[in-house]
Structure 1
Amino acid sequence: MDTGLKGRTAVVPGASSGLGLAVARSLAAEGANVVLGGRRGELVREEAAKLPSAVGVEVDLTDPGATDALVGAAHDRFGPVDVLVLNGGGPPPGVAVDFTPEQLADAVALLVQPHQRLVRAVLPGMRERGFGRIVAIGSSGVQAPLERLVASNAARAALAGYLKTLAGEVAADGVTVNMVLPGRIATDRTTSIDKAAAERTGTTPEEARAQSEAGIPVGRYGNPEEFAAVVTFLASAAASYVTGEQIRCDGGLVRAH
């Protein structure tokens, strides 16, 4: 399948490791120019140097200046942004009964506002050129809220609502907007969640992982490359008739339709 990504320019924040890095590598493998963003500047530059056509930019997405840094680097090095991947770190765990308005504001500042700023920066050009792909890396908690992750559940659901609304407004301009929802993918964040579960239950992280895997129909955690392949398809020319969707990549974990 011809993805039509050769020569396109993609921006991928949160790309120093985990899902973001896997997506950046996958897009680069299809011939895209990639701007990798991340707080660990040295690491993100090292990863960018391993790709055929890429640049690494040290940014903290919660800083409003991060938008200009990422989009500016794309324009300076490659040209206008064709593909925007919305990705970043998650808030700390917590339960709903203890969730404060201040914590909600912090979660929105981490998971909604930075992504909206990025969208607003690249969307006019996408619409003018008649092509654009916006793909958000979400969480299965958008559809089936996860225990002890109330901040993530609430803020990611807000982002999902914004993107779903946006998708309908820009579809006729050749811009698609989708969200991919990972379940248990083997990343550092999943490892930290398993460690936290082990501490609560008095078991080991390995036992916590085994218990988690037992609830996944395919019987294992996914790997970042499997997830990145879904994002890459949605970023491709072949996915021009897919928009406004939340696509799960979770091994069948979420049972909802």
Structure 2
Amino acid sequence: MDLEITGKRALVLGASRGLGMAIAKSLAAEGVTVFAAARSRDKIADWSKGIENVHPVELDLGDIVSVDGTVDMLLKDGGVDIVVNNGGGPPPGTAEAAQRSAWITHFESMAANLFHLNTRLLPMMKKCGWGRIISITSSGVEQPIPNLAMSNGIRAAVVGWSKSLANEVASDGITVNVVMPGRIHTTRVDELDAAAAKRTQTDVKDVAAKSLAAIPVGRYGKPEEFADVVTFLASERAAYVTGSRIRIDGGSIKSI
């Protein structure tokens, strides 16, 4: 199937590892020029060696100056057609224990600065009459994950923003969707399993086994499986999909 995105330009955030890296590779394989962004430009440069259409970009979502600098660079160069909003998550913790300062810090990097970045890139998409905005959240926005209160709360705000924006720009040829990963085997998931093991004073293998038991397909997902769904949503073939939440979780979310 030809996804009809050869020659398009994409900004992929959080692309130094995990889901962001897999998405950047998947888009690049379809002929998309990918600006792969993260705080560690060197890590992107390492994995993208030999991939001519991947361009490493240093970007810190927690620093508005860094965000605006990246947007300025992209707009000067013609803007982008596709934005993949993918950022790191806050540390584990309960809602009761979360402090106001932590909420503000993480909301800025995970939501406010993300919204600002997309708002600045939108006019060029509107001018072209084509665009794709895809936000990576978490299964926690539908089924809150214990001890990840800040992630559950802040990512839910991204879902509300995404649905609102989708309705506003649909007539401009721009789709806006949310993709929710379940247990996709990345470094982030390994870190969360380790944190859970420490908190419950159990072996990390037992934590992983408990997680696997709750997934109907009986395994963690592969980053590439997740990335290919995102790439389809970024394509011309998915032009009628907008304002949606897509689960990639092996069936682990219990609701319909």
Tell me whether 1:172 sits opposite 2:171 in the alignment: yes
Deviation at 1:199, TM superposition (A): 1.4
Number of aligned pairs?
A: 256
SS in 2 for 1:179: strand
Asked if structure 2 preserves the Cα contact closer than 8 Å seen for 1:3 and 1:233, the reply is yes
Give the deviation of 1:246 after TM superposition.
0.7
1:206 equivalent in structure 2 = 205
CA distance in 1, matches of 2:146, 2:167: 31
Q: What corresponds to 1:63 in structure 2?
A: 63
1:124-180 deviation line (CA, Å, top 9, x unaligned): 111111100000011001111110001001100011101110100000100000010
Q: Distance in 2 between matches of 1:171 and 1:48?
A: 33
Q: Distance in 2 between matches of 1:93 and 1:121?
A: 31
Show the 5 A alignment for 1:215-254. 215-254=214-253
Shift of residue 208 of structure 1?
1.1
Return the offset for 1:65.
2.3
Aligned residues of 1:47 and 1:56 also touching (Cα < 8 A) = no
3-state SS, counterpart of residue 112 of structure 1 = helix
1:42 aligns to 2:42 (yes or no): yes
How much does 1:114 deviate?
Answer: 2.0
2:246 paired with 1:256 = no
- Give me the whole-angstrom Cα distance separating, in 2, the residues matched to 1:209 and 1:253: 14
Contact 2:176 2:243 in 1 (8 A): yes
Identity in percent: 46
SS of 2:253 mapped into structure 1 = coil
Once residues 155 and 86 of structure 2 are traced to their aligned partners in structure 1, the CA distance between those partners, rounded to angstroms, is 11
Q: CA deviation at 1:196?
A: 1.2
Please give the alpha-carbon distance, in whole angstroms, between the structure 2 residues aligned to 1:52 and 1:84. 19
Deviates more, 1:232-241 or 1:66-75: 66-75
Whole-angstrom distance in 2 between the partners of 1:231 and 1:118: 19
Deviation of 1:113 (Å): 1.3
In the TM superposition, residue 63 of structure 1 has moved relative to its aligned partner by 1.0
Question: What is the CA–CA distance in structure 1 between the aligned matches of 2:228 and 2:195, rounded to whole Å?
Answer: 29
Task: Provide the rounded CA distance (Å) in 2 between the counterparts of 1:114 and 1:186.
Answer: 27
Please give the secondary structure, in 2, of the residue aligned with 1:97. Answer: coil
Q: In 2, distance between residues paired with 1:157 and 1:76?
A: 32
Query: Aligned partner of 2:97: which letter?
Result: D
- Amino acid of the structure 2 residue aligned with 1:156: R
Distance 1:165 1:131 in 2: 18
Higher mean alpha-carbon deviation, 37-46 vs 223-232, is at 37-46
CA contact (8 A) 2:63 2:109 kept: no
- 4+ runs deviating over 6 angstroms: none
Question: Which residue identity does 2:173 align to in structure 1?
Answer: G
1:102 to partner: Cα distance? 2.1
Structure 1 stretch displaced more, 36-45 or 2-11? 36-45
Q: Output the amino acid matched with 1:61.
A: L
Match of 2:101? Answer: 102
Q: CA deviation digits over 1:35-80, x for unaligned, max 9?
A: 0111112112223333231210112111112333333444566x32
SS state of the match for residue 165, structure 1? Answer: helix
Tell whether the 8 Å contact from 1:9 to 1:74 is kept in structure 2 after alignment. Answer: no
Match of 2:132 in 1: 133
Does the 8 Å contact 1:7/1:31 carry over to 2?
A: yes
Give the structure 2 partner of residue 142 of structure 1. 141
